[in-house]
Structure 1
Amino acid sequence: MKLIQKHFSLYLMFLPIFLYFCVFSFYPLIRGFIMSLQEFRVIGDRPFIGLENYKTVLADPMFWQTFKNTIIIGGGVLLVGFIAPIIVAVLLNEVLNMVFKRFVQTVIYLPHLFSWVVVGGIWIFMLSPDGGLVNSFLTAIGKERVHFLADLDYVRDIMVLSATWKDMGYNCIIYLAAIVAINPTLYEAARIDGAKRWHEIRYITIPQLIPTMKIVLLLNLMGILRIFDQIFIMRNPATANKVDVLMVYIYEKGILGFQMGVAAAASFIIILITLLLVLITRKVTKYDME
């Protein structure tokens, strides 16, 4: 209480934020958990059925198929989307022309500002078999047209690449900011010892970026099971079995099928798996929140 009295103004400023999360995050979370233990009805009582909704989800083959798709697509996005911004940030840091450097930063950051409705539309247009940029190039060099978004051999890779393309600029700026914060005397000492640019990148830049890498990895890891907008925009019946993810499964069960209890149970399974992944990652990377 003495601490609260001492910093009362700060706690008062924090109160609206706390109330916001209570109303829009913690309360829906508690209500959703209660719903997952009930037989949901719009009108009338909602009888308590224990873990039956969870058993229904775990016994559903479609759940496991979407779980597999989520791991493959989300894992690809996590891996490619983690490595690509580091490479681009390191390369941009070596660019001496500031005008060109800022132009490239702006161009690669722009997709992050657009919604998946816009980004998905761009990719659908580029990959279209009728007049799409990619297929126009293929026909120009004598190759056959490919319906990429309806081809099971390409569709998952396209989901990974499009997601990486959209968010690469944002993560790249984070790494560039971390590179700027590196003590320049480290580079000066390395040059005195005869280090080349590649040695500076390998032994100074990359090691100094490791704390930032851990943070970005954790942030990205928390979202790999919650992929929805991209898949919902770019999926089609021909490839649904290959690209439908857990959030699409929840959408179909809860919104289309109106099985709110089952959808809530699937949501909490995703939360538990995400929490487990984050804890394992923190343990492996020895990431300390402090």
Structure 2
Amino acid sequence: METYFSEVHIPMGNRSAYAPGRAWNRLWKYRMFYLLMLPGFVYLVLFHYLPMLGLRFSFYDYDLRGVGDFIGFEHFRDALSSEGFTRAFKNTLILSSANIVIQMTLTISISLLLNELKNRLFKRAVQTVIYLPHFLSWVVVGALFTLFLSRQGGLVNAVISGLGGEPKYFLGNPTLWRGTYLFILSWREVGWGTVVFLAALSGVDPQLYEAAIMDGANRWKQMVHITLPQLVPVIVIVLIMNLAKIFNLFESVFVLYNPLVYKVSDVIQTYVYRSGITQFRFGYATAVGLFRSVIAFALVVSANKISSRLRGESVL
């Protein structure tokens, strides 16, 4: 054993840390921590890594009968030439991009407004109210807004009719669906998104504001020259995290869309669902999902490189 350690040039004082017995002793000493980590590790392996073995179906003629012949990139060529995929890809980019812009704007604005509140009780009450929608499942949210926006008996259309207007089918009209969807998505998620920015604001050095007040800066100038620059690193991180999820739209769309609005609402995830689950085109659906993951990865890497050039350091 001494010869082995001398060959790899491990310093004398650190040799005991690399001994197999020492590693087992540490494992046994901290066994409770490893046991606490075990469920999360098992979940990660079973539901995130093992399913990746199914990516090979993208290159095979796979259906309910099993794995067929190797067909290479035929599924990918079919997807790129498919009108349905092109439409879903475009809708995903439009909805995700609009959602990122709207949510970033609203979360930053609301965080700045909440940060200005001096009454702690009122501030916590407002935070609680805007956080609550995040904890509702999308099934519940979809059911609620389907009732509220219904043409027959819906609260919103009842108000419109009472004002002399004509009831509208918000979730069945291609012209109104995107705006309605983005409103519902923002209503559910914006409050929760303020958590990160409020945490960042709480870490701003109060001496900066004191110095600005002594220099005669009002609240607006303090926000422009102190608060927002302090938020820039957090904004970049949140933006990159959102880019990583840009193609992950599924539940929110699935509970709110219908065949009448497929033209403006069908996204890649719902397209994959219909192709694989309802049409049994498992190989094709896997290929589309793999293509989505590769594009999302490229977006995250690109955003990280842009952040590295602008800020001098990368996030990932």
Q: Which has the higher contact order (CA 8 A, sep 6+)?
A: 1
1:140 corresponds in structure 2 to 162
Q: Following the alignment from structure 1 to structure 2, what is the Cα–Cα distance between the partners of residues 130 and 99? A: 40
Q: Following the alignment from structure 1 to structure 2, what is the Cα–Cα distance between the partners of residues 44 and 194? A: 74
* Amino acid in the other structure paired with 2:315: M
- The number of equivalent residue pairs is 289
Q: How big is the shift at 1:27?
A: 2.0
| Conserved? CA contact 2:174–2:263, under 8 Å | no
The one of 276, 279, 282 equivalent to 2:301 is 279
Q: Following the alignment from structure 1 to structure 2, what is the Cα–Cα distance between the partners of residues 25 and 192? A: 54
Q: Does 1:244 align with 2:266?
A: yes
Q: Following the alignment from structure 1 to structure 2, what is the Cα–Cα distance between the partners of residues 74 and 106? A: 26
| Conserved? CA contact 1:77–1:161, under 8 Å | no
Q: Does 1:267 align with 2:293?
A: no
1:288 corresponds in structure 2 to 314
Q: Following the alignment from structure 1 to structure 2, what is the Cα–Cα distance between the partners of residues 117 and 263? A: 24
List aligned pairs for 1:24-43, cutoff 5 A. Answer: 24-29=47-52, 31-43=53-65
Q: How big is the shift at 1:157?
A: 1.2
2:150 corresponds in structure 1 to 128
Q: Following the alignment from structure 1 to structure 2, what is the Cα–Cα distance between the partners of residues 164 and 220? A: 14
Q: Following the alignment from structure 2 to structure 1, what is the Cα–Cα distance between the partners of residues 184 and 134? A: 11
TM-score (norm 1): 0.92
TM-score (norm 2): 0.85
* Amino acid in the other structure paired with 1:25: H
The one of 108, 127, 148 equivalent to 1:105 is 127
Q: Does 1:13 align with 2:39?
A: no
List aligned pairs for 1:1-290, cutoff 5 A. Answer: 8-9=26-27, 13=34, 16=38, 17-29=40-52, 31-43=53-65, 45-286=67-308, 288-289=314-315
Q: Following the alignment from structure 1 to structure 2, what is the Cα–Cα distance between the partners of residues 166 and 37? A: 39
* Amino acid in the other structure paired with 2:91: N
For the structure 1 residues 206 and 56, does the alpha-carbon distance in structure 2 shift closer, same or farther, using more than 3 Å as the test?
same
Q: How big is the shift at 1:19?
A: 4.9
SS at match of 1:268: helix
For the structure 1 residues 55 and 228, does the alpha-carbon distance in structure 2 shift closer, same or farther, using more than 3 Å as the test?
same
* Amino acid in the other structure paired with 1:73: L
Q: Following the alignment from structure 1 to structure 2, what is the Cα–Cα distance between the partners of residues 44 and 230? A: 32
For the structure 1 residues 265 and 181, does the alpha-carbon distance in structure 2 shift closer, same or farther, using more than 3 Å as the test?
same
Q: Following the alignment from structure 2 to structure 1, what is the Cα–Cα distance between the partners of residues 198 and 66? A: 56
| Conserved? CA contact 2:170–2:177, under 8 Å | yes
Where in structure 1 are there 5+ consecutive unaligned residues? none
Q: Following the alignment from structure 1 to structure 2, what is the Cα–Cα distance between the partners of residues 203 and 87? A: 16
| Conserved? CA contact 2:58–2:284, under 8 Å | yes
Q: Following the alignment from structure 2 to structure 1, what is the Cα–Cα distance between the partners of residues 299 and 134? A: 25
SS at match of 2:273: helix
* Amino acid in the other structure paired with 1:183: D
Q: How big is the shift at 1:21?
A: 2.7
Q: How big is the shift at 1:131?
A: 2.4
Q: How big is the shift at 1:133?
A: 2.4
Q: Following the alignment from structure 2 to structure 1, what is the Cα–Cα distance between the partners of residues 258 and 162? A: 27
For the structure 1 residues 45 and 231, does the alpha-carbon distance in structure 2 shift closer, same or farther, using more than 3 Å as the test?
closer
* Amino acid in the other structure paired with 1:27: L
Where in structure 2 are there 5+ consecutive unaligned residues? 1-9
Could you say which structure has the larger radius of gyration? 2
For the structure 1 residues 65 and 188, does the alpha-carbon distance in structure 2 shift closer, same or farther, using more than 3 Å as the test?
same
SS at match of 1:40: strand
Q: How big is the shift at 1:24?
A: 2.4
SS at match of 1:47: strand
Q: Following the alignment from structure 2 to structure 1, what is the Cα–Cα distance between the partners of residues 264 and 290? A: 23
